[in-house]
Every structure is written in structure tokens, then in C-alpha cells.
Amino acid sequence: MASPGCSQRFHLSVLSLFFTCFLAFLSSFPFTTEAALKRYQFDIVVKNVSRLCHAKPIVTVNGRYPGPTIYAREGDHVVINVTNHAQYNMSIHWHGLKQFRNGWADGPAYITQCPIQSGNSYTYDFNITGQRGTLWWHAHILWLRATVYGALVILPSKGASFPFPQPAQEAELILGEWWNSDVEEIVKQGNKLGLPPSMSDAHTINGKPGPLFPCSEKYTYAIEVQWGKTYLLRIINAALNDELFFAIAGHNMTVVEIDAVYIKPFTTASLLIAPGQTTNVLVRADRSPGRYFMATRPFNDAPIPVDNKTATAILQYKGIPTTITPLLPFLPAPNDSNFADAYNAKLRSLNSGNVPLEVDRHLFYTIGLGSNPCQSCLNGTRLAASLNNISFMMPKVGLLQAHYFNLSGVFRLDFPDRPPTAFNYTGAPLTANLGTLLGTRLSRLAFNSTVELVLQDTNLLTVESHPFHLHGYNFFVVGRGIGNFDPAKDPAKFNLVDPPERNTVGVPTGGWTAIRFRADNPGVWFMHCHLELHTMWGLKMAFVVENGNGPEESILPPPKDLPPC
């Protein structure tokens, strides 16, 4: 809370100025901190869970769904031992942590490690350097992140604080999806047919769908608030395949952070969050004391089916009887592209002095759907997805190991910088010649080189939005637009002053997004669509970032307990 005597109501421009001045103050203050060691034990176990009148066994961490929250401070050393008691292979990704020189702790199966086999353990050992805020962790193999996920909360280092008034309390809200049937069996069935697996049966907030679903009255998450106090909500989209709107009935939210990076605060009635993204908001409990629904449902402006049901949780004022029916918030229409564009335009960094102004490497990747022959499939074809017409094939050993130990025959370093053929990417739908090339092809980046990557959606089969996640890095989102990217005109409109910095970004339906980053983290780093369906179909690739000069700019040696393949 603000100190006594300070105004409790902030005009946005004043709050923005407060942010900027406070960060400048923090950067000049000589804080001395001692790193703490934080240890966690993750036991991967199968547990019976009931939702929507259906009970089923699900894979969990420590029997919890969602899994436990990891708490640490900036500068801490974190050690998490994962022991796999389930029948599936397992790996855990610490989404958004940069893992400097330490890809061995990043977690994507067959990219930076082989999976942890049933009955075995692996210890993720990493430092949290130069990051604070809300991130998350999730399984990074098969579709197991449907139930294996949790929050990762990095508090400011001791002596530092938030660049906004201290909230009275915090809460994590993890948005997810629920299937009544076994997710892995649904995926296997879809693959046999060459078609998408069936969509989820509900969305969830902290694993609970809320009372708008059958048998769900007791499966509702609630936060109790006290009138006049301000609360920090750490919101995470852990859904597998849906971008989501989120709103709280009767209350505005002040957005203060995205993907663990502080931003210029702005107030909104609703927010948009893509799979993989996190958003921190301040909410002031200053409305008529009562019960208010917090609600989430998909944003989808493409001609594809989604689970369009609304999940709810409850904001409950202290002293109000639970018998009172909560009010529902207004959410944008499911296909409200104008809201999505306007919301994304408001995201601006507080301090973007690290935006690369000169670019060493220009990359242009087209995103496409397609289909390849499949003799055993229903229609003789299987749906595929590709970047620059290449559907990525997962290797049998970890790419980072293959790179570090110079193993031949695992991957090629010839991923193309641009598509093989230029065409009207977002014109009339193309439904012929939809075959894709298959390969484990990576792109090599020189250490400390600056990279600009334009991700261009295409109308191969259909246009669609795609949230892309780059492991090992944050990047600056310098531009986005609808239609085809114009290299002669669009760069002049790039925001190189205060672009948002993130680790996961949406490519708009029938449009493009441009990002920039400095390749200063050596290793093998995965980049993929965070829609699990598209990742499964091949919408992924990886960068090999070369070592720099000397050991401080080179990949760390692998740990002794790195899982074998």
C-alpha cells in the first residue's frame, strides 16, 4: 500500500512518471545482496482428479493441480530436483528464464535435454540473474502441460521493491484448459486420423472451471479482498491452444508488467493474454462491497473452432455472504480484433535502452499450415505446420548435446533466412500444393550479433493467430501489422523508443510481427508456436548461438545427471 498521506487514487500520467523516476532511482542505488539457495522437490505422480462430473487420472507435480508455485528473489540460486514416478517421459521448462549459458536447465525435451524417464530424476540447477516478476513452469513434452504447470514468482532482490505502491496482497491466477478424457489418448486418436484432436471441455482458473459448468460449484477459485486496499494479480495463460480475454466485473485493472518486465502502466477493463504470456495487474477494491466474477474466455478471429465457454473465479469482499450471486463482467466479443490491436498498442516498455538500432541479421519466416501424405490417416493426409515451408522433425537426442559434443547427423545448420518462394501471403486461401519439407534444420547466429525476425502469417488453408515463444531470450516487439509485411515501408514505422519486451508474442491473424534481440546467450534455443497443436504439427525451429570469446561467453559444461536418451 502507499505510505500514509499519499493519495490512494493515481492519475495514469502521474503513475507512469512515478514508475520512470523510481526505476532511475533503483538503478543508481548501490544495493548489496547475498544470493540465497532455494531448493524444491518435484515428484511427478499420477492422481485421480474430478472436474465437470468426470473423474480421471492426471499427471501432476506433488499431487497438485496446478502444481506448486516456485518463489525466489532476483539473484537467487534455485535447485529443483524432478523425480518421475509417472508412466510418461517428462521434462520441465522454466518459461521465460534466460538460463544464461545454461541451456541444460531450460527443459524442452530433445532440444536441451533428453527426457527424464520413468523412475529417474534430474536436477534443474540455475541462477536467476537480472530478472524479476511473474514467469511460469510447465511440462515440455507431449501434451503433458495440460496438467503439469505452475507459477514462478521472482520477487525483487532484498532492499529493492516494486516500482509501484506496495500491494496489500498478491495472488496468482493461472488460466488453463480441461479435457474430460485422457489428453494423450485424444492426441493419439487425432494423429491416427490426421486431424486435430478434440477441443477442451472447459477453461479453468487455478485448475477450477467455476460455477457456470456442471458439478463445479465447489470447483471455484475465490480471492477475499478488503475494501480500500490494492491487490496485485499475477495472471498466467497456461492454456494449450487458446488466446484468452480476462476481466473482473465492476473493476478496472492497471497493467504494470508483462512477461516479467515492468511496463508503462495503463488502465483497462479487459486484457488479452496469449498462451505462454504473463500479465501483472493492480486491482483496487473500491467498488460496492459484494461478490464479483473474474472471467476468461477465448479470443479467436480466425475461421476455426475453439472451446468458447467462460471460466470464472470470484473476487469476494470481506464480510459479504457467499450466498450472494456474483456479477458477471463484460468481455470483448470472441472475434474482437479491434480490441486486440488497441490493447497490444498500449504495451510500452519503461526502459528500452537495449533495443538494437543496427541489425546484423535480417530474418523473414512465413507461418503456414499444410498437409502431407499419410497412408494410415482418414483422408490419406495428415495436417502439418511449418516455418518457411519446413516442418521441424524432433531428433532422437538433445540438440544441445549434439552441438556441444559435435555429434554428426543429428541436425543441419541450413534453416533458410527467408521462404523458398515469395507469394501473396495473406491473399485468397491457398488449398493446393500444401506439402511441407520435413527436417531438423537449425539457424546459426554469431555471438552478440543483432537479429531482426519478421514472423508472417499466411493463408495456407487459413489465416490464424500464433503466439511465438523464444527460449533463452527476451526480445523487443518493434512492429506488427495486418496483411503482408512491406520491407520498403513498414520498418519506418517500427517503435525503437519504448517497444514492449517479452518472451512470447502473438502474430496477428493474417498479419505479421517484427522482433529484435541480441544473440548474447550461447547455446541451442528453441523457438515455437505456443499453441500445442501447431507445435506438434511442426511449427518450430531452433537457433544455435555460437560461443563468444573465452569461458564467460561460452556454454557451461553439462551436469553429471543429464538424462540419457
Q: In the prediction, which pLDDT does 379 show?
A: 83
Max Cα–Cα distance, the chain, nearest Å = 73
Cell of 475: 526480445
* Cα distance between residue 395 and residue 402, in whole Å: 10
pLDDT value of position 28:
33
CA distance 229 to 168: 6
pLDDT-derived band of residue 34, with 50, 70 and 90 as boundaries?
A: low
For 20-34, 275-289, 469-483, which range has the lowest pLDDT when averaged over its residues? 20-34
- Cell numbers 506488427 label which residue? 480
Q: What are the tens digits of pLDDT across the range 220-262?
A: 999 999 999 999 999 999 999 999 999 999 999 999 999 999 9
Burial 488-517 (b: 16+ CB within 10 A, else e): eebbeebbeebbbbbbbbbbbbbbbbbbbb
Give the residue from 305, 279, 377, 299 showing the smallest Cα distance to 339: 299
For 138-197, the pLDDT digits (tens) are 999 999 999 999 999 999 999 898 999 999 999 999 999 999 999 999 999 999 888 899
More confident of the two residues 378 and 547: 547
C-alpha pair distances (Å), 80 with each of 43, 123, 350, 466: 10, 6, 32, 31
Q: Is the pLDDT of residue 487 over 90?
A: yes
Which run of H or of E encompasses 209? Answer: none
Residue 26 has pLDDT above 50, yes or no: no
Which helix or strand (DSSP H or E) is residue 439 part of? strand 437-439
- Cell reading at 550: 573465452
Report whether pLDDT(3) > 60: no
Distance (Å, rounded) from C-alpha 67 to C-alpha 88? 17
Residue 519 host element (H or E): strand 511-519
What is the structure's pLDDT at 356?
Answer: 96
pTM for this prediction: 0.93
Task: Write out pLDDT tens, residues 285-337.
Answer: 999 999 999 999 999 998 887 778 899 999 999 999 999 999 999 999 999 99
- pLDDT value at residue 23: 41
Distance between CA atoms of residues 296 and 233, nearest Å: 14
Residue 47's pLDDT is: 98
